Amino acid sequence: MIVTVTLNPSVDISYQLKQFHMDTVNRVENVRKTAGGKGLNVTRVLAQLGSAVLSTGFLGGSLGEEIISQLDAANIPHAFTTTKANTRNCIAILCEGMQTEILEKGESVQEKEMKLFLENFHKLIKETDVVTLSGSLPKGVPDDFYSQLIKIAHGDNVKTVLDTSGASLKAVFATKNYPTVLKPNHEEIADLLGVEETREIPKLKTYLSNSLFDEIPIILLSLGAKGAMVKHEGRFYQVIIPKIEVKNPVGSGDSTVAGIADALAKGEDIETLAKKANVLGMLNAQEEITGKVNLANYETLYQQLEWKEV
């Protein structure tokens, strides 16, 4: 089984507007509300793949209940810790090809709720092969929380996939509780190392050769339309992908994480893992809805990927 952790979920609202006017009323006809947060996108993709998945994290208030009913409707098992803090809304205003986002910071999670979550997590991982840890941390949760979860999971021989940024990513290196797979994108790796952003393979190779990464078994550095780069057992590989028609790349990285987790759970080799991760990222980018993948196109795309050592 795969456990997906979403500590800072949201109900994402997208407003599609023909024109966006400031300082007056904007009326919206086209509204979409979905359970959001990176871990929930991972969950949805895993469910479509037919992987046994269980979703956990923090939820609270009426929006928390809305997320639970969406998971129930999709037959996805869940075990969230209820918080006094209300689950937040995140708003995206889509207008003239531009996307303006309004992200609520959310309310604080309390100490006793974190304790409850950890007790539950200890129990959950007993029947688990892989845990995915995705996204930002809610207010009140310490920066090293993912690091704590990685330590607990590895203590039970459960593999971990980490996709986060900023302080919670830095804390993993400070505490040396490294995940089995790290899934940064090119911006996150540059921010972590304090270096210039690049998608050039030779430069990225230098970045990933930093001794900071020596203890991480697999790094899959996703590069959007340029595919991905992989570091595994001290060797570097590139996944070269074909040009595709993109509808909405939001959530492609989450779809990638779902592919990594599925491959890890099945004990697949590194090439299969990397290709699966990329195909799922691409399938997500080809859809309007975040976290949706049309698996009928899986095989055709898979055959078009190139895997080479760099």
> What tokens appear for 31 in the block?
């509204």
Calpha distance 207→229 (Å, rounded): 12
How many residues are given for the chain? Answer: 310
Could you list the residues that contact ligand ADP (CB under 6 A)? Answer: 185, 222-225, 227-228, 241, 244, 246, 249, 252-253, 256, 278, 281-282, 285
Tell me the closest approach of the beta carbon of residue 285 to ligand ADP, in angstroms: 4
* Alpha carbons 6 and 240: distance in angstroms, whole number: 30
Calpha distance 11→28 (Å, rounded): 17
Which has the closest alpha carbon to 232: 217, 221, 222, 242? Answer: 217
Instruction: Compare residues 21 and 243 and give the one whose CB is closer to ligand ADP.
Output: 243
Report the alpha-carbon distance of residue 308 to residue 310 in Å, rounded. 6
Calpha distance 58→64 (Å, rounded): 8
Q: How far is the CB of 245 from ligand ADP (least distance, A)?
A: 9
- Min. distance of Cβ 252 from ligand ADP in angstroms? 3
Give the whole-angstrom CA distance, residue 108 versus residue 96. Answer: 35
Quick one: 223 or 265, whose CB is closer to ligand ADP? 223
In angstroms, give the least distance from the CB of 87 to ligand ADP. Answer: 22
* Comparison of 217 and 224: residue with beta carbon closer to ligand ADP: 224
Residue 235 Cβ vs ligand ADP, minimum distance, rounded to whole Å: 19
SS3 state of residue 137: coil
